[in-house]
Structure 1
Amino acid sequence: MATQKKWRLVGDYLENCNCDIVCPCLVSTKAMMATPTQGCCDNVLAFHIDKGNYGDVALDGLNVALAAHTPGPMAEGDWTLGAYIDERATGEQTNALAAIFGGDEGGPMAVFAALVGTHLGVRKVPIEGKSRSVEIPGVLTVAVDPLASMHPSGEIWGMTGHPLAPEKIAFGIGREGNGFNDHGWNWNNSGRNGHYAPIEWSN
């Protein structure tokens, strides 16, 4: 679909799934797709926008979260997806975020949009997001800590080619107490695979 407006986002992204560390998706290729370590993938992706715009619509400070279930390797598709947009977003901002994160406006999310088989809709909710953590009261609590490393930063960064952060992504682990409960799903990915990265997207 042709893009309608110029847009740009700068912020942070985190992900926590039910795979053992390290998630096979991060070390797969098109020629050799690894199966999730639990057979299926139960996954939360969260985004905090430090600075952003969609045309003349400012998106600074807003948060978005996605929850997805895939019956096998993520790249094979047939995702079931639910989306959450910050309740502080105005109508214009909500439409802009839905367009960008739904993949309609190009950018990294367009890669994922093609893989969704069932979309459970978009809810506006209070989302509290900060570095490497996000919370939607009564729905999800996710925090990702870095994997232990002898590097002075205490982090392990890799160039995995992940569609959301192809230049670099940090390997992490889901903090104790992580959970998601909505749409009939009830996940606890504490101690499971996590990763996080700064993002800078545009069309």
Structure 2
Amino acid sequence: MSWNLTGTYLESCNCDVVCPCTTSGLTAPADHERCQVTFAFHVDSGNVDGVDVSDRSVVVFVDGPRVMAEGDWKVALYIDASADDGQAEALGKVFSGQAGGPMSVFTPLIGGVLGVQRVPIDYRDDGRRHAARVGDAIDIEIEDQVAPQYGKDGPVMGLTGMFHPASSTLTIARSTRATGAGVYGRSWDFTGGNGHYAPFTWAA
């Protein structure tokens, strides 16, 4: 199977800005007892073994231990309801790591799959604000961070050299809204917590 995807991603977690997991390659303890993180991806253009998956979104939720490198992650996968059966299958293989590529790095850390659902996903980029709504389950908006000295139109803050599936360079962001309700028995409000944003280009 050969495939390639290009798009953007946003992330929201329950850590403070900036989260220790991201900056330590998953080896430093998170700020709270569990690490709960949502990754939302929008594929601007992509092809998976001949299946066009352009303009589709996928969201991955992870509930992991405080030190994420210890593994035993509980993972849920949400696939865009607008995807047809072929697209859903193709996206599921890529974002679960079954098709290789960046997400496969996390496969050994997964201790259980909470579920796979096809739900409406509304993914939006609006300047320096980025949002994803996942059915009635997850609602996130993050805002890129700028040093106050530069003013609101200054350069956004970033991290480089990261061990991260989306990109080695991430924008530092803070959630202006980050809620979950009934996500396999989990509900939360992480508003004000850590966020990241980045373009991604993957192939395998």
Query: Do the two structures share a fold, i.e. TM-score over 0.5?
Result: yes
State whether structure 2 residue 7 is matched by structure 1 residue 11: yes
What is the CA–CA distance in structure 2 between the aligned matches of 1:43 and 1:61, rounded to whole Å? 23
- Quote the residue 1:158 is aligned against: 159
- Matched residue type, 1:22: V
- Quote the residue 2:108 is aligned against: 114
Q: Secondary structure at the match of 2:199?
A: strand
What is the CA–CA distance in structure 2 between the aligned matches of 1:106 and 1:72, rounded to whole Å? 26
- Quote the residue 2:46 is aligned against: 52
- Quote the residue 1:186 is aligned against: 187
The TM-score with structure 1 as length reference comes to 0.91
CA shift, 1:163, in A, is 2.2
What is the CA–CA distance in structure 2 between the aligned matches of 1:135 and 1:166, rounded to whole Å? 22
Higher strand share: 2
What is the CA–CA distance in structure 2 between the aligned matches of 1:165 and 1:66, rounded to whole Å? 12
The TM-score with structure 2 as length reference comes to 0.91
- Quote the residue 2:20 is aligned against: 24
What is the CA–CA distance in structure 2 between the aligned matches of 1:60 and 1:153, rounded to whole Å? 32
What is the CA–CA distance in structure 1 between the aligned matches of 2:161 and 2:23, rounded to whole Å? 7
Q: Give CA-to-partner distance per residue, 1:115-152, whole Å, 9 cap, x none.
A: 11010121000000122210023111011101232455
How is 1:102-141 mapped onto 2 (pairs within 5 angstroms)? 102-131=96-125, 132-141=130-139
What is the CA–CA distance in structure 2 between the aligned matches of 1:14 and 1:172, rounded to whole Å? 9
Check whether the contact 1:26–1:160 (CA below 8 A) recurs between aligned residues: no
Check whether the contact 1:40–1:69 (CA below 8 A) recurs between aligned residues: yes
Percent identity between matched residues is 34
How well do the aligned residues superpose, as a CA RMSD in angstroms? 1.5
Runs of 4+ in structure 1 off by over 3 angstroms are: 150-154
Long gaps (5+) in structure 1: none
What is the CA–CA distance in structure 1 between the aligned matches of 2:46 and 2:188, rounded to whole Å? 31
What is the CA–CA distance in structure 2 between the aligned matches of 1:14 and 1:104, rounded to whole Å? 22
